[in-house]
Each structure stands twice: as C-alpha cells, then as structure tokens.
C-alpha cells in the first residue's frame, strides 16, 4: 500500500461513477489521492439500451463495450485503479462472496472517504442495494473479529452522490464540491459513455446548477466563491471538528 491518501467509490453499474462523482474523483486524483473505483457490474442488461438496439448483440459484447467505456472514462479522470466485480445487473447479485470481495477491497484500500448511491431509489433497486451493501461492507471491515490480523478500517465518511430524479430519491445534499478546475476531465469522461449519449447534456446542466448552489451557499452576493460547476453529496455520518466555521 502506498503512502498516498486514498478514497473508494462504489458504483453499481459501469457508468454511474462518471455522471455522479466524476468531478470528485478527478479533483482528488489531482490533489494527490489514489481514488479506487469499484464497479459492481457493467450495467450490461439495464443501462445499455443503445447497444442492445444494434443487430446480433450479445451479453458478452455489451459487457466488453461497457468495460471499455468505463476504463476510458476512468483514464480521462486520472484514475489508475478501477475494479470490475462483474456481479451481474438488473438485479445485482450481492451475495456473501460479493461481500467478502468488497470487504477485502475496503481493507486493502483503507479509504479516507467512501462514496456510493442514494439510500432510496425505487426506479433502480440496484442503486439503493449498492448503498446498503457498501455500508454493510464498511461495518464488516471495521470488525476486529473479521479476518483477525488484517488492518481494520477506521471510520471513513460515506458520501452519497446525486441520483437521477433527485426529488424522488429522498436525497438531500449537505456538501457542495467545486469541480470547476476539473470540469474538462469530467466532460471528457462523460463523452466516453457512447451508449448513453442522451445523458451528456443532462449531467452538464446538473453540474451548472450545483455550481449556482455552491455560489449561493458560500456567501451568495456577499463574497460567494465563483464556481461554474459543482457536485452535491449527502453525508451519512457526522463530521468531527475542532472549530465551527
Ligand atoms: Zn446505474
């Protein structure tokens, strides 16, 4: 394990990390972090409609194409450690083996912070099951009795990234991250997602709107920080601070 600061993003499908957390990932890579991205599936069945509309498409070809896209997107964000667990999608198979694999990854990475989906997503249960799974694996990684002798996990914050159709997901941001300096990288990663071109401008608009909220919440008209693009996150755990700011 290197001396670098580390973070772990757990993405249900191969593209989720790009739309929802690409800015946070690129920003922290540029700050010297090693951000590991774990894709539980390729989104091969449920999030690859454009590919399935092509003739003679097979599950293996869709998986290969989605893996390439996700790998290219990770490269665009500066990520060198992306893992594909290939657990299947719609539905994800989050069984005991998957849990063991993820706990091993968490203990290996020892992330300062973790990130996953919203707690609730009635449109896509893979997403909300991933969050539950991530929290469960975080808990197991903290247990001294699990694989005794390994380094146990501390208490990394769990950030929930912004879902699609925000208001339906009971998701409420309490952190805005300025991603203006890495926006070009996020847009380049977005454009790697050839199978979901209909979302490119949608997520550009989301980043612009969150940039507005960043300005509003960092001082508004009285000295608000200029941010053109931002991402919102919801924290699960309380922050521990020495001074209120
Ligand atoms: Zn997804």
For the chain, what is the mean pLDDT? 95
Tell me which residue has tokens 């706990």.
Answer: 103
Cα(213) to ligand 1 centroid in Å equals: 25
- Whether 78 has a pLDDT exceeding 70, the answer reads yes
Q: Does the global pTM surpass 0.75?
A: yes
Cα(127) to ligand 1 centroid in Å equals: 6
Residues 166-193, mean pLDDT to the nearest whole number: 97
Tell me which residue has tokens 């991205």.
Answer: 37
Q: Is the peptide bond before 91 cis (omega within 30 degrees of 0)?
A: yes
CB 44 within 8 A of CB 89: yes
C-alpha 135/C-alpha 218 separation (Å) is: 30
pLDDT in the model for residue 225: 84
Cα(240) to ligand 1 centroid in Å equals: 31
Residues 92-119, mean pLDDT to the nearest whole number: 98
DSSP, collapsed to helix, strand or coil, labels residue 76 as helix
DSSP, collapsed to helix, strand or coil, labels residue 80 as coil
- Express each pLDDT in 35-56 by its tens digit: 999 999 999 999 888 889 999 9
Give domain 6-235's CATH superfamily.
Answer: LmbE-like (3.40.50.10320)
Structural domain boundaries of the chain?
Answer: 6-235
Cα(134) to ligand 1 centroid in Å equals: 15
C-alpha 197/C-alpha 164 separation (Å) is: 15
pLDDT in the model for residue 95: 97
Q: What angle do CA 29, 30, 34 make, to 5 degrees?
A: 25
Residues 166-194, mean pLDDT to the nearest whole number: 96
pLDDT bin (cut points 50, 70, 90) of residue 222 is confident
């Amino acid at each position: 394990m290197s001396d670098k600061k580390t973070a772990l993003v757990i993405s249900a499908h191969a593209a989720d990390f790009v739309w929802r957390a690409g800015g946070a990932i690129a920003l922290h890579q540029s700050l010297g972090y090693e951000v590991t991205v774990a894709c539980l599936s390729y989104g091969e069945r449920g999030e690859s409609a454009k590919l399935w509309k092509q003739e003679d498409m097979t599950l293996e070809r869709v998986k290969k194409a989605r893996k390439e896209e996700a790998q290219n997107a990770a490269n665009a964000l500066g990520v060198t450690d992306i893992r594909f667990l290939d657990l299947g999608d719609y539905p994800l198979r989050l069984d005991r083996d998957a849990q063991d694999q993820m706990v091993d990854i968490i203990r290996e990475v020892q992330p300062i912070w973790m990130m996953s989906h919203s707690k609730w997503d009635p449109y896509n249960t893979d997403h909300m099951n991933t969050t539950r799974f991530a929290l469960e694996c975080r808990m197991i990684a903290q247990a001294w009795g699990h694989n005794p002798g390994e380094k146990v996990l501390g208490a990394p914050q769990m950030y929930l990234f912004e879902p699609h159709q925000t208001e339906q997901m009971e998701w409420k941001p309490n952190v805005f991250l300025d991603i203006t300096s890495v926006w070009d990288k996020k847009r380049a990663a977005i454009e790697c997602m050839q199978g979901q071109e209909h979302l490119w401008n949608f997520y550009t608009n989301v980043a612009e709107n969150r940039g507005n909220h960043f300005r509003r919440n960092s001082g508004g008209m009285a000295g608000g920080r200029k941010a053109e693009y931002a991402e919102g996150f919801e924290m699960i755990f309380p922050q521990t601070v020495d001074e209120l700011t």
